[in-house]
Structure 1
Amino acid sequence: MKYSNIITRKLLPVLAIVMIATFSGCKKFLDTPRQGEYNEENYPYPGGAGPYDQFILGAYTDLRGYNVHADGFIVATSIRSDDADKGSTASDGGPDVITMDNFPVLTNNGRANALWTGYYGLINKCNNTIHQITIRNEIVATEEAKMQARAEARFIRGYGYFMLVRLFGRVPKIDTLFADPAAQNNVPQSTPAEIYSLIESDLTFAASFLPAEWDKKFIGRATSGAANGILAKVYLTQKKWAMAKATAALVMNSGKYDLSTPYATIFGESGENSKESVFEIQGRADAQIKTDQGIQYASIQGVRGATEWNMGWGWNTPSTFLEAAYEANDPRKARTILYTSTPTTPGITIYGETTPLGLPNPRYNQKVYTLPSERARVNDRFGYWMNVRILRYADIVLMFAEASNEMGGADNIEAARVALNTVRARARTGAPVGTLADRVTTDQGELRDFIRHERRIELAMEHDRFFDIVRWGIADDAMHNAGKPNFSAARDALLPIPQAQIDLSNNVLTQNFGY
């Protein structure tokens, strides 16, 4: 299920000086299964993955980081949307999280600052890798190995900047290693267009030089499909419809992915790295190492209760507005929303357990609910072993459908409709006849609404909804209809530039509109 790329203690002394100098306290590497564990005899240099692993794996480690894909990530991408509520108890999370849910976000918000530092830390690891390959150039390696390592670094950097530009808008463009790291604090902001240009360049390069797939012992590493998939979303966000369609089609025509994995399977441990998966952040845990090789992602969203039902913080709960958006009998609802028991109705988990009475919230995110046998295996309830799905194949298909429809013309609209219906066909498997019937419209506007609905339901609680309603220009209506009257797209589509970063820059950085 997971493949271990953890460097053993026996090898660590060999790399200790390099790691201390390069990764500033980094202790973990990309996770893979024990049968792939490295030691002095089988560490893959110069064979295997390549000689620059000692640098690039630090960036993969940061992808698992608390400030990259855990706390602030969940709050800023999901709790901020109309599909999710903060959950837990009324005061839990304090002003940081409460204002992310209800607006406006404060300029001293700790989660916003943590995201800023987390993603720039990730970007610095990538810049260091590129520096080691192109500037320092002390490692003897083939040109192919160099290009592949640069491609991995540029993929992760491009993804990091894509997150930053959608979260904050104008951010500093730092695409090189600074001799004096403190000088980074005084780099002025670039326009979103300049950042998007860098992202496109990074991801295009990555798609050209990354492999279509890796040996299984390196599962979780970036592929050309992942690079093209994120690039398609970058184009879609900028309304570059033809480029989005063509790039999504590259992934669809690669033969590496399909919709064969049942929806109910995708999100459990057995569904990790399936044919549905285009890019996942890898987590791992066992009875001896419960957290250090994993991700505090499922735990933050886990059921908040007592004894065996103490699975996490209880944050990021599906909203009543998401609940109401499902069509009748849509099986995806049961896989997404975990209901807790009431005196009249038992709440049953995806694995058949009955939830207890008296839990703080009526609903939890079922997509991060862990398998009971895995909890027993690890002797832990907090799910650090769960992967984070960053990009799924259904997302690619729906991006293709959206871009095709926006291009207009009978052929494009038909291509969009056909693609949309393949996602619905997978979703209705096993449901009563007539559930999720194919869309038959040829009207562009009507099909646009259908595609937007499908993205909301298919990708519910998967961190796309907020960015989608912003780029569609419907955020004010969506958020106000969801009972968030303080939301103003003119201000709240972006987070504030953290005041701590403005202070560090000696006011070189300037605040976003409305804060």
Structure 2
Amino acid sequence: MKRKIISTANIALAVSIILTGCSKNFFDRPPGAAVTVGSYYQTADQLLASTNAFYGTPWFGWNNKAGWALTEISSGNLRTWSSDVSPFGTMPVSSDNPEVRTLWNSPFTVVAQCNGLINNLSAANTSAIPQAAVNNALGEAHLMRGVAYFYLVRTFGNVPLIENPLANVNDFQTVPTNSIPDVYKFIVRDLKYAEANCYPDVAGTGHGSSGSASAMLAKVYLYMQDYDSARIEAEKVINSNEFSLLPNYGDLFITNNNNNKESILAMQWISTGGYDYGNSIQASWAYSSAITQTGDGYGSAAPTIDLQDAFKAEGDTIRRHFSIMLPGESYPELDVNNGGYTLPLNASSQGTQAQCKKYVIGAPTDPNNSKGGTASQAGGNNTYIMRYADVLLIEAEAILGQQVHPSIGTGIPLTASTSDATALKYLNMVRTRAGVTALTSFTYQQLLNERRLEFALEQNYWFDLGRIDGFKATTTSNGIQSAPHPMAEAIIANQERGTYGNAYPDKSVIYSSKVTLKDADFYSLIPSTETASDSKLLEAPVPYNFTW
């Protein structure tokens, strides 16, 4: 795939994408409606619709396979025999791997979309549009650019910061990366702009709100070990009352509940647009076409023994049921026309006697899909970028971080504990919803386990593992970045990533598989297609020139 934002051809593409918009089918869904360049900036509604592209098809590559391959397979939550993504289970993954290219290309396509609007809108005549609407559109662009860079920096470390691709037309082959601290500074700047300019209380429409920006800021600050700022931002979100936990955990993953009260920010999909426009996770994860009834459902990844054991050890049956299917377990909401779906006793597509349930939504005729639909490799269900349970757990962790006060670059010890009433309140809100016992104190290890179970298969755990040893500015040598990750490496080394040797229900024989990672493995290699055309990407990062 050609470069998305740095090469001359794709600089032009980045501009043309914004001018022409995405396929009309993408806009035939809330929020907004299709518009052309001639009518982009005539009314507030049309301006609002111009931000739709930030949430949909540019994220497709990430969501389709690359994102969950990195975050769920690398973290030990999923295993697979599929040759294209199985290297993510052992690391490192070759810079020639097509999914590594997608990890780079997809977020940078989002960056290009956001830059296009920011730069075009600054030159447009918007005198007929209320200034608040203009500010909101710019706020959404800054929000989603910051989100895209948050994915990039956690995946690759040093990356190029691009605000105006036209500035690189003459030097696209010599664009350097910028340091991790500068990338985080850039993200914070974008999110603060969004917090100040996005409309409040609109996340339920599928657009990011000022509260969405505050929530993302809380998470970014947590990664930076700025616990004071993380807590301030989390409490802004909590006190705003824009978001709340859904009473029933399983309701979070029903297509008809897209953009619910717990959804802070989400990738937005449409089933009628087909491949590239719909959510394709079900096609890969569903055990069989008996679930999807659209010809797909390949069971190409399945929960590891380790993740199953983690749910079992916690006595966590509710979140487990809606995350992991076990043989013989029934789901009345799937295959409703035939009385529900029961996972066969011999279901074990990856040898772990379990299959994925989360993001597996069923057939086009199932009632839970009546609003968003589903089709072959294209579901109408959103993919969460962030939800309110995360804010509550960030608040709890920030309080623990304030108490322990580890030096920057050194993580909170796994044995560190707190009985702070506020931290317990928010942690236990998440646990109570899941039907597990409320705690009277908790350790950092327990909090991390809570995050793993709450967000299992939601593309979080790998990034959690990458940050628990502290915020570090890594060094670069021959394109390989490394920083100490002793706690994360120890957790991963103890995971059981193997298979059962006998058929269900016999679990007495395990063909064990354990993984030992190196510090450098926590950042992906920059794709070889990028470094071949720009060798500066392999050199030490340079400071970024912050002009505003």
- Please give the TM-score of this superposition, normalised by the length of structure 1: 0.82
Q: Aligned runs of 1:493-508 on 2, under 5 Å?
A: 493-505=522-534, 507-508=535-536
- What is the aligned partner in structure 2 of residue 440 from structure 1? 440
* SS in structure 2 of the partner of residue 178 of structure 1: helix
Farther-moved stretch of structure 1 (412-421 vs 223-232): 412-421
CA distances 1:107-137 after superposition (whole Å, capped 9, x unpaired): 2121111221221121111111111122x23
Report percent identity of matched pairs. 25
Match of 2:402 in 1: 407
State the shift of 1:407 in Å.
0.7
Q: Return closer, same or farther for 1:213/1:98 CA change in 2, 3 Å cut-off.
A: same
The equivalent residue for 1:230 is 216
Provide, for residues 316-350 of structure 1, a one-character-per-residue CA deviation record: whole Å limited to 9, x for no partner: 4211111111222531111111124xxxxx23236
Structure 2, unaligned runs of 5 or more: 1-12, 334-339, 405-416, 470-486, 497-512, 542-548
Which secondary structure does the structure 1 equivalent of 2:66 belong to? helix
1:315 is paired with a residue whose SS is coil
Q: 1:322 to 1:102 in 2, by over 3 A?
A: same
Match of 1:269 in 2: 255
* Preserved CA contact (<8 Å) 1:404 1:412: no
The DSSP-based 3-state class of the residue aligned with 1:250 is helix
Matched-pair contact (CA < 8 Å) for 2:160–2:176: yes
Counterpart residue number, 1:210? 198
SS of 2:214's partner is helix
Count, aligned residues: 465
Q: What is the Cα deviation at residue 20 of structure 1?
A: 4.7
TM-superposed CA distance for 1:381, in Å, is 5.4
Decide which of 65, 83, 91 is 1:71's aligned counterpart: 65
What is aligned with 1:109? 97
**Which one of 254, 261, 273 corresponds to residue 240 of structure 2?**
254
* Aligned equivalent of 2:118, options 119, 130, 139: 130
**Larger deviation, residues 467-476 vs 293-302:** 293-302
| Distance of 1:317 and 1:275 partners within structure 2 | 29
Give how far 1:204 is off. Answer: 0.7
SS at match of 2:206: coil
Q: 1:277 to 1:492 in 2, by over 3 A?
A: same
1:480 partnered with 2:493: yes
Deviation of the 1:166 alpha carbon: 0.1
Write the deviation string for residues 35-54 of structure 1: whole angstroms up to 9, x where unpaired.
Answer: 965589xx896444353744
Say whether residues 1:155 and 2:150 are aligned partners. Answer: no
Contact 2:77 2:457 in 1 (8 A): yes
Give secondary structure in 2 for the equivalent of 1:51.
helix
Structure-to-structure mapping, 1:22-41, within 5 angstroms: 22=18, 26-28=22-24, 31=27, 33=29, 37=33
Unaligned stretches of 5+ in structure 1? 1-16, 341-345, 429-435
Structure 2 CA distance, aligned partners of 1:379 and 1:60? 18
Deviation at 1:270, TM superposition (A): 3.1
Q: Residue 359 of structure 2: which of 364, 368, 377 is its match?
A: 368
Q: How far does residue 146 in structure 1 lie from its aligned partner after superposition?
A: 2.4
Superposed counterparts of 1:81-120, under 5 Å:
81-86=75-80, 90=81, 92=82, 94=83, 96-120=84-108
Matched residue, 1:432: none
Deviations 1:275-315, CA, capped at 9 Å, x for gaps: 111112121224xx544642223322222457949543323
Shift of 1:463: 0.9
Change (3 A) 1:392 1:61: closer
How far 1:187 sits from its partner (Å)?
1.2
Higher deviation after alignment, 20-29 or 367-376:
20-29
Alignment of 1:345-364 (within 5 A): 346-349=328-331, 351=333, 352-356=340-344, 358-359=346-347, 360-361=349-350, 362-364=353-355
Give 2:432's aligned residue: 425
Provide closer, same or farther for how the CA distance between residues 195 and 412 of structure 1 changes in structure 2, counting only shifts above 3 A: farther
CA distance in 2, matches of 1:403, 1:438: 19
> Relative to structure 2, which stretch is displaced further, 172-181 or 468-477?
172-181
Aligned to 2:279, what secondary structure does the other structure show? coil
Structure 1, residues 454-496: CA drift from partner, whole Å, max 9, x if none? 1111111111111111211322112111146554241111101
Instruction: Indicate yes or no: 2:276 matched with 1:297.
Output: no
Q: Which amino acid aligns with 2:457?
A: M
Mapped contact 1:50–1:149 kept (Cα < 8 A): no
Q: Which amino acid aligns with 1:477?
A: A
482-491 or 194-203, which deviates more = 482-491
8 Å Cα contact 2:139/2:193 also seen in 1: yes
Q: What residue number does 1:390 align with? A: 385
Q: 1:332 aligns with which of 302, 319, 326?
A: 319
Amino acid at match of 1:161: Y
What's the Cα RMSD here? 3.1
Please, what TM-score do these two structures have when normalized by structure 2?
A: 0.77
Cα pair distance change 1:29/1:302, threshold 3 Å: same
